[in-house]
Chain A
């Protein structure tokens, strides 16, 4: 009877297991297999080359440069984007006028298409006819006028800021949900004990928001490290290699050079790096919570 019931349960989960296996597990195994081969993605024959692709990745300066670029964009996202998201969520959690209106407004950028956002910002930042330079000139800062996306000194930071603008809405939403779960009684009790607003924020809000902040940080790192649509739309990875990110390099290996095996190896390495970063973040956050 029990065996029958167990079998029945297996039958019910079978479709989900099959779909998951076909669309996730099998492709993953294939990626692992391709990463050990030299293959152009067209020919039926692949040449086994062992770990040569991975060895090449270690020596690929452009790949590691793209990793650094992604790291820089992530750093800006972790600091500027998440600080902005938290502050706005905190403001909207308080009794302010039009708070529902602000909640909607702040969530508009994330729901817009990345390509559209990229093209609109490209137009705003255009060196010749862009709005930003137009206003900088009119406001008396002509020395700041530049070609923001073609200047190697500003291209990456500009892309990072636009990425943060596009992405802060997700953090805002999660932070707001987190803030709303903090029992109001805690604030009232603190106030009865003589705590001012800053003390309440420091001793009640921040400690209780750490798990939420960790979640936002992990999602930010994973999302930002994999960003590429916005970058393709704004700079195409240029000038030279200044805004290249790992996913663009994987695409270049696959499409530009027809090196599917190498692209798969890059994808696997990148995945492992992201898992390692997430694991380190998780360990740090666990320690922070214990403190």
Chain B
């Protein structure tokens, strides 16, 4: 072999060696390090500060790794789960069904024994509805061993907010927001006359449509009938469901919906509302931080969606905003649990609430919060969430339902047509399951 060939071979082997070595895992640092993956860009600085404090107190280093946007984060977690390469602590974005799959695949530690230590002091520190989202009860339909599998780090409610200045401009009293759906529609007529924009929301991302539709479904037919529909015992062609779908047509006809709402992403909706360009917004309590960043002088208040019926209470989606889970296969799982106990303790929760304007999951930290956050917190009384219903609707049905509402808003389909199409998909999915 000539010298040049040997040289080429050595160079190739060297480059190949570097490539292979680059894929190898890093050597563990001597200091105990807990790795945490998250997607919360708005909380990044606060997490770093808390990690610094924790290291100073305990000597344990906590590495918060941000992967945003949430879609990219979600994919990364799934890929890591497939490769059994999850970090010590991580969050799951998705439906309860996905959460259950992670547990059944052995990726998530059952935290029940830790929660119940010391007469359940850790468990008792949380809002029960926040914890419920991370809990699987006896006889759950997912086939998961009953237990608590996640730690809520904040809570949220999704409600309506209205702009007080624009209310005044419309000749309305900001102290008297709409309580009934008819009052809401009447304001829509005024908005239309004044050539203003009414309700903005991220309905282009569809799940927020689902959220409002579910709120009204609970108000019109009650929880039992909604759950019976999910179980396949009540069809979507039921008059109550058609009434729910018709509300979106009524909103569109009255002029209370902002134009272009069907393709609007929540970021755009937030910009419009924060800049005094929309009278109403349908958004989660995280919006307080967002609006503050966009327009600190925005004058607004939070309300429950105006009710249609007095028969059942108006329920809203709420509960744990973000939760962390502990990797059941992690060597650091005990340290990870200790860190989460510390993170959800009163002082750290109060700091997180203050720094990020999110509602704390620890009920003892709910002391010094702004008025607007207190309004969102009040909504917790009426909070519910698909994750605590114990049954999940098929994804295909949810998609057809939400896209169907978009079709109603753009005047392409009637509520009856959408109900019939959704029911067909429901029957197809039920047949598949059988």
Contact = CB atoms under 8 A, between A and B. Distances in A.
B232 interface: no
Contacts of B409: 239
Interface stretch (A144-152, A174-182, A191-199): A144-152
Contacts of A151: 410
Contacts of B410: 150-152, 239-240
Interface stretch (B44-52, B59-67, B100-108, B279-287): B100-108
Interface in B100-122: 101-102, 104-107
Interface string B216-251: 000000000000000000000000000000000000
Contact of B19 (A19, A40, A155): A19
Interface stretch (B158-166, B253-261, B323-331): B253-261
Given A152-B412, A255-B71, A258-B98, A15 B261 contact: no
Contacts of B8: 12
Contacts of B262: 150, 238-240
B260 A238 contact: no
Interface residues of A, number: 34
Contact of A11 (B9, B95, B259, B268): B9
Nearest to A147: B260
A128 interface: yes
A128 B404 CA distance: 24
A236 B205 contact: yes
Interface residues of B, number: 48
Interface stretch (A41-49, A69-77, A97-105, A214-222): A41-49
Contacts of A155: 263
Contacts, number: 99
A81 interface: no
A239 B105 contact: no
B364 interface: no
B105 A43 contact: yes
A122 B197 CA distance: 18
Interface in A125-142: 126-129
B1 interface: yes
A41 to B, nearest CB: 5
B15 A15 contact: yes
A185 to B, nearest CB: 43
Nearest to B5: A8
Chain A CB within 10 Å, residue with most, of B263, B268, B277, B403: B263
Nearest to B101: A42
Interface in A227-257: 234-236, 238-241, 252, 255-257
29 contacts: A8-B5, A8-B9, A15-B12, A15-B19, A40-B101, A41-B78, A42-B82, A42-B98, A42-B102, A43-B105, A127-B260, A128-B259, A149-B260, A150-B260, A150-B261, A150-B262, A151-B410, A155-B263, A235-B263, A236-B265, A238-B204, A238-B403, A239-B406, A239-B410, A240-B403, A240-B406, A241-B403, A255-B75, A258-B97
Given A238-B262, A239-B410, A258-B98, 6 more contacts: A15-B16, A44-B106, A128-B260, A152-B412, A238-B204, A240-B410
